[in-house]
Chains A and B, each alone.
Chain A
Amino acid sequence: MKYSIMVNEGPYTHQASDSALQFCKAALEAEHEIFRVFFYHDGVNNGTRYTVPPADDRNIQKEWSKLAETHEIDLVICIAAAQRRGIMDADEAKRQGIDGDNIAPGFRISGLGQLIEGGIIADRQLVFGD
């Protein structure tokens, strides 16, 4: 089955991102397809490479990047939600006149159309949030 995933909460405060990660891993192991993971609301905070959790805790951001690299999963951060919350790639930082970017490897920034497209293309769209 082809799944699209929506993650609506940031890491650590809420379990939504952990649950989404675990679902993606289990689905891939069972040979399902993850068409796209779309990060919205505070979920965009999963995509900053400046996350530095304590050494004895899981690194949720790095696990997403690893998942993207290993399985070529499309991780998309909503641009409108990202702009509100200070998540930037190099192009966006330049456009906004900001002195640096913070997007993590494997993530890309795009529009809400990517979320709707995910719903159209996938067999099932799952929402992980509050």
Chain B
Amino acid sequence: MATKKFMFLNRKAPYGTVYALESLEVVLIGAAFEQDVSLAFVGDGVYQIAKGQSTDGIGMKNFSPTYKALGDYEVTKLYVEKESLESRGLTLDDLMPLVWEDEDDDYAEKPSIRLVSSAELAAVFDEQDVVLSF
């Protein structure tokens, strides 16, 4: 089957609605189909990869550890919109340190998160074949 560039656009907070959790389920299937998968986090979507998430008291599963496994599925391009992060008073230090292992570089750990401006993100979207928004 052909390989296409799939972009998963995440716009919603991780809890409150099911979109983030069910988006992640599609991402894993996209990776299993060996597609060229990227993720973007904009708006409240940036909270999906925030550090130190706890669902104690809301009776929901904390699925944030799954993002740490994305590197093992060769999902290594996680774009975070700078403006969304800044307008929420967050910095890169508030996000999980998500990494992937580069086979071609002696399995060196490399960061998956790419902080980009809105304009840079638009250019990334221009290159995609399929965009699924959640």
B45 within 8 Å of A (CB atoms):
no
Which residues of chain B in 1-55 are interfacial with respect to chain A, using CB atoms and an 8 Å cutoff? 1-2, 4, 6, 18-19, 22, 25-26, 29-30, 32-33, 35
Which residues does chain A contribute within 8 Å of B2, judged by CB atoms?
Answer: 120
Question: Which B residues are CB-close (under 8 A) to A111?
Answer: 29
Q: Which of B32, B129, B132 has the most CB atoms of chain A within a 10 A radius of its CB?
A: B132
> For the complex, is A41 an interface residue (Cβ under 8 Å from B)?
yes
Q: Give, as a whole number of angstroms, the nearest-CB distance from B53 to chain A.
A: 21
**With A41-B18, A41-B19, A113-B33: A119-B25 Cβ-Cβ less than 8 Å:** no
The answer, yes or no, to whether B130 is at the interface (CB within 8 Å) is yes
CA distance A115 to B22 in the complex (A): 13
Which residues of chain B come closer than 8 Å to A127, judged between CB atoms?
131-133
Q: Is A129 an interface residue (CB 8 A)?
A: yes
Interface bracket on A? 10 to 19
Tell me the B74-110 residues at the A interface (CB within 8 Å): none
Interface pair B29/A119, CB less than 8 Å apart: no
Least CB separation from A84: chain B residue? B18
**Shortest CB–CB separation between residue A55 and chain B, in angstroms?**
32
Instruction: Please tell me if A125 contacts chain B, counting CB pairs below 8 Å.
Output: yes
Question: Is B35's CB under 8 angstroms from A116's CB?
Answer: yes
Give the complex CA separation of A117 and B25 in angstroms: 15
List residues of chain A with CB within 8 A of the CB of B131.
Answer: 125, 127
CB distance from A44 to the nearest CB of B (A): 11
Task: Write out the residue numbers on chain B whose beta carbons fall within 8 Å of the beta carbon of A113.
Answer: 29, 32-33
Say whether A125 contacts B33, CB under 8 Å: no
Give me the interface of A with B, judged by CB distance under 8 Å.
6, 8, 40-41, 80-81, 111-113, 115-117, 119-120, 125, 127, 129-130
For the complex of A and B, 9 pairs with smallest distance between CB atoms: A119-B130, A112-B29, A116-B33, A125-B130, A116-B30, A127-B133, A120-B4, A120-B2, A112-B26
- B interface with A by C-beta (< 8 Å): 1-2, 4, 6, 18-19, 22, 25-26, 29-30, 32-33, 35, 129-134
6 A-B pairs whose Cβ atoms sit less than 8 Å apart in the complex: A113-B32, A115-B132, A119-B6, A119-B132, A120-B1, A120-B35
